[in-house]
Copies of this chain bind each other. A is one copy, B any other.
């Protein structure tokens, strides 16, 4: 099987990916786009990481597009994407575990006041805050997919009362004010874009916090800044942004109530992700059912 590799990652990263994929499936031929274009009709699968627009068009015999990333919103936004080729998301337990670590770190930091203590260190201030138990800090996880479940399980193991919510009709999660921390892990679709807006924040509990590990497009930035400035929200931990890298002039960079990560909450690990991709390519070759297929109508 010939597989074309296409994406906007740099050469060193592609070298690592190609090595991992070749180790996971040595019987396949892994080709860069320019190599694959010499005999495009021999190429039956693509492994992609946000590929440049139109780069898959020459490959008319594709039967699977396997994403290396869990989020496929940028991929699906490409109007040149072949319309009838199945697309598979990356679903990798190692990726979910990394996401759970980040969600747990953010939740512990908010619950136990560690962001506040780090601010106090910069101010030279020695002051203890009230200490509550994990069981007194209810957390709402938006998103019931693989990552949402992994995050919910990690938080529950650590004693937090956790509720989950998926965007399945109701305009807002009903018990929003019952929770002190909201962790977003929704996919970005037409139904979830801009969900985290002024109305959503107003429905959250006074003094609660947002952890956005989904997509920047879920958040209306000006509404979030207003909720933080007004004190209704105590803090936001943000991993994802409308534009990445986030422009230096954006207020999130310097806001005292914002903790930023550079889209690093869960990086795809070539070692495990290559194995997941290879398993799907073998299923394609052997005529077995494909895993983790995207519903283009639903958007994830």
Decide: A131 and B97 in contact? CB cutoff 8 A. no
How long is the Cα–Cα vector from A121 to B239 in the complex, in angstroms?
12
* Residue A134 at the chain B interface, CB threshold 8 Å: yes
Q: Which residues of A contact B (CB under 8 A)?
A: 94, 97-98, 101-102, 104-105, 108-109, 111-114, 117-118, 120-121, 124, 126-129, 131, 133-134, 154, 157-159, 244-246, 248, 253, 259-264, 266-267, 269
B126 and A246 contacting across the interface, CB-CB below 8 Å:
yes
- B108 contacts A101, CB within 8 Å? yes
Which residue of A98, A101, A111, A112 has the most chain B CB atoms within 10 A of its CB atom? A101
Copy number in the complex reads 2
Name the B residues within 8 Å of A128 (CB-CB): 262-264, 267
Is the CB–CB distance between A105 and B114 below 8 Å? yes
9 interchain pairs (CB within 8 A)? Answer: A94-B133, A101-B134, A101-B158, A120-B262, A126-B244, A127-B262, A128-B264, A128-B267, A131-B269
Compute how far the CA of A121 lies from the CA of B253 in the bound complex, rounded to whole angstroms.
6
CA distance A227 to B26 in the complex (A): 46
In the complex, the answer to whether B124 meets A248 with C-beta atoms within 8 Å is yes
- Find chain B residues with CB under 8 A from A94 CB: 133
